[in-house]
Chain A
Amino acid sequence: MSITNLVLALEANLQAEIGAKNAQIALLDGQEQAIAARDVDALTLASNELQLQVHREIERATKRAATLSELTRALELPATSRVGDVATALGARGRTLAARRTELRARCAASLKKSRHVASLVRGHASLVEEALGRYLSPDPSGAPLGRGSLVDAEA
């Protein structure tokens, strides 16, 4: 593949990643809302969609790594070169690539921030649920049949 085609492929990959990051941020927003609203169905749906997106992102990451590797070889750059190094090496031809890189960095940072925020929410909520479940599903030390009952006790 020529250098031009490799550059175009990398630009397209970054563009697709930027769109994916926007969708990812939206999904994380959805998760946050689902957690806040205690809407377990919405939370599960958002998690499933996130799972699909992660699969696609891994595919794109694999392709991106291959394209970047080929470009660094063609441009005789060190094997550890990053997209920024490639854009600099390309000079004027690398302006679009550089712009997409900048935009993607921003989207990644936003996604990272959002995901950390949601992760923190999830941890908080999960610990509450753990505590509640531990409280009501733990064996009853008093042995009272219906006090702090287990499911079996509750049915009885």
Chain B
Amino acid sequence: MSSIALNIGIEGLLAAQTALDTVGHNIANANTPGYSRQSVLISAGPTQRFAGRLVGTGVRAEDIVSVRDLLVDRRILSQRGLLGRLEAKSSTLSDIESLMGEPGSGSLSSTVSGFFTGVSRLSANPGDPVLRQDALRAGVDMADRFRALETGFQKLRKDADARLGAQVKQVNTFTRDIATLNRAIAAAELGGNQANDLRDTRDETLRSLSDLIDVNVVERHDGSIAVSTRGQILVSSTRNFELESTVSKQGESILHVRGSDQTLRPTGGSIAAFLEQVNEVLPQQIEKLNALAKTLVHEVNKAHSTGVPANGPFRSLESTHAITDGDGDGAYDDELLSESGLPFDIQDGQLSISVTDRVTGDIETVQIDIDAEETTVGDVVSALNGIPQLTAVIEGDGFLSLRAAEGYGFDFAARSFPTSGTIGASTVGITGRYAGEAASDLTFRPRSAGDVGATANLLVDVFDQSGDRLATLDVGAGYVPGTELDLGNGLKASFGLGAITNSDSFELHAVADGDTANVLAALGMNSLFEGSSANDIAVSARILDDPRFFAASATGADGDGGSLSAMLAVSEGSFDGLAGSSPVQFIGSVAADIGFERSSAELAMDTERALHDGLVAQRDARSGVNVDEELVNMLRFQQAYQASAKYIQVVNSLNDEILRLL
């Protein structure tokens, strides 16, 4: 019996020692991340038969268990995945926002506005070389900004891709650690006790893993856990399966488990955010930037290409975009113009070419019809070569070269033609630039016969090609021959002395745009900007070398800034490629979208962080170590032991006293 009593005492002492050790362990780990408070499970020892009686054997510490709430732990994991994704997303969006720097000075919107401001100032005085230089400098700044932004976006994409790769490696390290811990836990728990500290380490590793990628966790009977993401196993008991990041044929970064061809699309963790940035957000930004650059280049060049340089018509001109030999037969002529690899679309329309005799000043204008579905490169070259004093050649590298004969020059201005003709014996002269929306064939027809400037009520009607009368000109008595009369839409007509009859007429082809087919912009002929995207946009090297090639005039007349006005119209225009907005509006909306996305991500992050913190507080309340509580417990024990010891001493004295009396 005495040995049992002694054993009871030892068991109790050992149980208490285990409990106190656990208290100490709890306090020591109060600040260890992810540590779960441990407590000792104490149970009654087995009953033993002694001298025919059942005798208790005291208590023993059965197990030390971590106090944890698995449901809260799992919710923390998924919450951390969400937070990780939002943090990474917010960080990248913030980088994009900083890179764009909208709407500050030096931003894209300010350089685009700066370019149009330069053009606007120049349009007030097109002949001013300083203003011309300023406008070009503003164009250079704008192009530089485009390229810098594009480079910046590409760098952000590269950085995000590098971080993605680094995080994939980190995931593999974590899953390897978890597999190792699984082995250790399974081995340690074979005896039935919980390996709490190992479990805490594994939980902390899991939490770190869930920062990177969303995970599902299933615990097995041996204490090991299986970790999967989006249905693919990352850790199966004692083995981990590594993630790999590769680049698809489409150039997208993709994730998959090594050895599996199934693409992994995580929805949580920073990896999901980086994948989104690399494959969606940044490419979309680059695409928008390219769309803006392409639209600006195309629209400004459309206006510029039909303008006339300050030094007059061209002697020679070469395209900046090469035609490609699509069918690979070694010839360019058979290529459809609309499918000849040019960066801009070609549409049905006409291309006007005016050849000027530099000595006489006579201008011969010819229009070439372009059918986007049928006209070939050869057709255009042939048509150009059919114009007197003009030679067109496709060079070996696919660039179109135009050259005027000695003493001649050419341009693509919107000139109505012929600029002179006759009605009866009267000479008709046409001046001005037609400002109608589309080209139109105008017919001048006298209502009656008579002498210009002499016959009373001698009227000439002007009809458009639909037969609608646009104007009626009184060239009878009182009209001074040679006086210009307004036809409307910018055109004027003058009549010389002579008799006219109502059977005579004069046909005028009024041209609104020198290139309604957009052939020049597509080929890059007489372009202000080279390139067709954000990474290659640049002001034409030829124009920078000789600013007189900056075609400010629409007609070549002194002081005419018609081409500049057309360029200015681009700043206010709305374009399909820019979602129906103007260039500056488009930049504003892109910047606003990024800002909105970032602030939404930050708002969501705040909300999710609050939820996460709440869950962590919930976990800590249950699993965390309250140092005060642990110490107070010990102090209470100390007092209780002191009191107990005191009374036991009195009891012993009294027992001794009684025994002495007995």
Residues in A lying within 8 Å of B, measured CB to CB = 17, 24, 28, 31-33, 35-38, 40, 43-44, 46-47, 50-51, 54, 57-58, 61, 64-65, 68, 82-84, 101, 104-105, 108-109, 111-112, 115-126, 128-130, 132-133, 135-137, 146, 148-149, 151, 154-155
Residue A122 contacts which of B8, B645, B656 (CB distance < 8 angstroms)?
Answer: B645
Cβ–Cβ contact B631 & A151, under 8 A = yes
Cβ–Cβ contact A47 & B644, under 8 A = yes
Cβ–Cβ contact A155 & B628, under 8 A = yes
Cβ–Cβ < 8 Å partners of B633 in chain A: 40
Cβ–Cβ contact A47 & B647, under 8 A = yes
Q: Bound state CA distance, A137 and B30, in angstroms?
A: 15
Main secondary structure of the interface of B (DSSP, over half): helix
Cβ–Cβ contact B655 & A133, under 8 A = no
- Residue B638 at the A interface, CB < 8 A? yes
The 6 closest A-B pairs by CB, nearest first: A36-B12, A154-B627, A126-B641, A36-B59, A112-B655, A50-B647
Residues in B lying within 8 Å of A, measured CB to CB = 5, 8-9, 11-13, 15-17, 19-20, 23-24, 27-28, 30-31, 40, 42, 58-59, 627-628, 631, 633-645, 647-652, 654-662
A and B contact pairs by CB, cutoff 8 A, 16 listed: A24-B651, A31-B644, A32-B12, A40-B640, A47-B640, A50-B648, A104-B662, A111-B655, A115-B651, A115-B652, A122-B645, A126-B642, A133-B631, A146-B30, A146-B31, A154-B631
Cβ–Cβ < 8 Å partners of A83 in chain B: 661-662
Cβ–Cβ < 8 Å partners of B644 in chain A: 31, 35, 43, 46-47, 50, 118, 122
A68: nearest chain-B partner, CB-CB:
B661
Cβ–Cβ contact A54 & B659, under 8 A = no
Cβ–Cβ contact A129 & B652, under 8 A = no
Cβ–Cβ contact A43 & B640, under 8 A = yes
Q: Bound state CA distance, A40 and B20, in angstroms?
A: 13
Cβ–Cβ < 8 Å partners of A17 in chain B: 658
Cβ–Cβ < 8 Å partners of A116 in chain B: 652
Cβ–Cβ < 8 Å partners of B657 in chain A: 61
Cβ–Cβ contact A104 & B658, under 8 A = yes
Cβ–Cβ contact B655 & A108, under 8 A = yes
Cβ–Cβ < 8 Å partners of A38 in chain B: 15-16, 19, 40, 42, 637
Q: Bound state CA distance, A116 and B648, in angstroms?
A: 8
Cβ–Cβ contact B17 & A105, under 8 A = no
**Contacts A51-B647, A61-B658, A118-B644 given; does A32 touch B8 at CB 8 Å:** yes
Instruction: Kindly provide the distance from the CB of A140 to the nearest chain B CB, expressed in whole angstroms.
Output: 12
Cβ–Cβ contact B648 & A119, under 8 A = yes
B19: nearest chain-A partner, CB-CB:
A38
Cβ–Cβ contact A58 & B654, under 8 A = yes
Q: Bound state CA distance, A80 and B82, in angstroms?
A: 88
Cβ–Cβ contact B640 & A36, under 8 A = no
Q: Bound state CA distance, A8 and B205, in angstroms?
A: 78
What 8 additional pairs, Cβ within 8 angstroms, besides A115-B651, A118-B644?
A44-B640, A46-B644, A50-B651, A105-B659, A108-B658, A115-B648, A136-B27, A154-B30
Residue A36 contacts which of B16, B647, B654 (CB distance < 8 angstroms)?
Answer: B16
Residue A105 contacts which of B19, B42, B58, B662 (CB distance < 8 angstroms)?
Answer: B662
Residue A129 contacts which of B11, B31, B637, B643 (CB distance < 8 angstroms)?
Answer: B637
Cβ–Cβ < 8 Å partners of B42 in chain A: 36-38
Q: Bound state CA distance, A47 and B649, in angstroms?
A: 12
Instruction: Kindly provide the distance from the CB of B650 to the nearest chain A CB, expressed in whole angstroms.
Output: 5
**Contacts A50-B647, A126-B641 given; does A151 touch B658 at CB 8 Å:** no
Instruction: Kindly provide the distance from the CB of A52 to the nearest chain B CB, expressed in whole angstroms.
Output: 10
Q: Bound state CA distance, A43 and B639, in angstroms?
A: 10
Q: Bound state CA distance, A84 and B660, in angstroms?
A: 10
Q: Which of A24, A43, A61, A105: most chain B CB closer than 10 A?
A: A43
Cβ–Cβ contact A84 & B662, under 8 A = yes
Cβ–Cβ contact B627 & A121, under 8 A = no
Cβ–Cβ contact A149 & B654, under 8 A = no
Cβ–Cβ < 8 Å partners of A149 in chain B: 30, 627
Cβ–Cβ < 8 Å partners of A130 in chain B: 638
Q: Bound state CA distance, A116 and B30, in angstroms?
A: 38
Cβ–Cβ < 8 Å partners of A84 in chain B: 662
